[in-house]
Amino acid sequence: MTKIVSIHSFRGGTGKSNITANLAAQIAMQHKKVGIVDTDFASPGIHVLFGLNAENMTHCTNEFLRGKISISEAAFNIGEHPSPQNGCKRLTGKDIWLLPASISRDDIQDILQFGYDVNELNRGLTEFRKEKALDYLFIDTHPGIQEETLLALAISDILLLIARPDQQDMQGTSVVADIAKDLDVPDIFLVVNKLSPKFDQDDARKDIITDLEKQFEIPVCNIFLLTHELVELGSADLFSLLDEEHRFSKEIKKLSQIILNT
């Protein structure tokens, strides 16, 4: 049985794609079969972390949604064709697949104008999970609340809600948390990203966790610090495989253990 893990945030730019790519990579490193799907058809991005671009993205999920190819034909085999970047290269031979969303202007305009059939995507994902015998399927979502958010939440075993310590993020996150509870998502966790290193003392962290858990009534499973090395890398590689001893990488590994144990 495939465990489905959705990574979502109410607002954009919270770090979903970076956390999803690193988390999925860490779980693949533990010899699990991993799939990742980019459902952010309006502003795709996670493919960049795996070294895909307009030239080497041979197929995409949009073609499947248009009925042109099967879902498996849309999947990119990262373990067989890892990007030459030092972090990504370490995925050589691992069982990790990406269903990328198209970065062509026409495809994005098409999705914005006509939308897509979420039930067809759901059917495709079910087929993909079975065909690749996936242990985990990670869904990197479009921020906010749309029809496809509801689908992603409804089929998830685990939801990671990513929020920055920012009032705008937090208000919206509470709305998403309530929807996820209504949809009976079995395990919902809050992940705080981009905490200022200024608040990185045990007492301050404890206070943040206590306040958030009281406010949202869901567990806070990780706090990631605002990390200048990540800003400098600019999504060009998988940081947790580049610098394993860094605090961010250790926090990603801790998150991967939580997922593996849930």
Compute the distance between CA of residue 3 and CA of residue 156 in angstroms, rounded to an integer: 8
Among 45, 51, 82, 124, contact with ligand ATP (rule: CB under 6 A):
45
Stretch that binds ligand ATP, among 16-24, 127-135, 165-173, 252-260 (CB under 6 A): 16-24
Other beta carbons within 10 angstroms of residue 207's beta carbon come to: 12
Instruction: Please report how close the Cβ of residue 103 comes to ligand ATP at its closest, in angstroms.
Output: 13
102 forms part of the interface with ligand ATP (CB under 6 A): no
Around 89, how many Cα atoms within 13 Å sit in the side-chain half-sphere?
4
Residue closer to ligand ATP, measured from CB, 9 or 149: 9
DSSP 41: -
Q: Minimum CB separation from ligand ATP for residue 19, in Å? A: 7
Rounded Cα gap, residues 244 and 251, in angstroms: 10
Q: Is 17 in the site for Mg ion (CB under 5 A)?
A: yes
Question: Which residue of 9, 62, 149, 173 would you call a contact of ligand ATP, by CB under 6 A?
Answer: 9
**Chain CA centroid to CA 144, Å:** 14
Closest approach, Cβ 1 to ligand ATP, in A, equals: 27
Residue 223 one-letter amino acid: I
Number of residues that bind ligand ATP (CB under 6 A): 21
Asked if 250 and 149 touch (Cβ cutoff 8 Å), the reply is no
Binder to ligand ATP among 6, 26, 83, 227 (CB under 6 A)? 227
Write the DSSP symbol of residue 57: -
Q: In the bound complex, what is the minimum distance in angstroms from residue 13's beta carbon to ligand ATP?
A: 4
Give the number of other CB atoms < 10 A from CB of residue 166. 13
Q: How far is the CB of 163 from Mg ion (least distance, A)?
A: 14
Count the Cβ atoms, other than its own, within 10 Å of residue 28: 25
Residues 179-218 that bind ligand ATP (CB under 6 A): 193-194
Between CA 9 and CA 114 the distance in angstroms is 24
Q: Which chain residues interact with Mg ion by CB under 5 A?
A: 16-17, 45
| Interface positions with ligand ATP (CB under 6 A) | 9, 12-18, 40, 43, 45, 143, 193-194, 224, 226-227, 230-231, 234-235
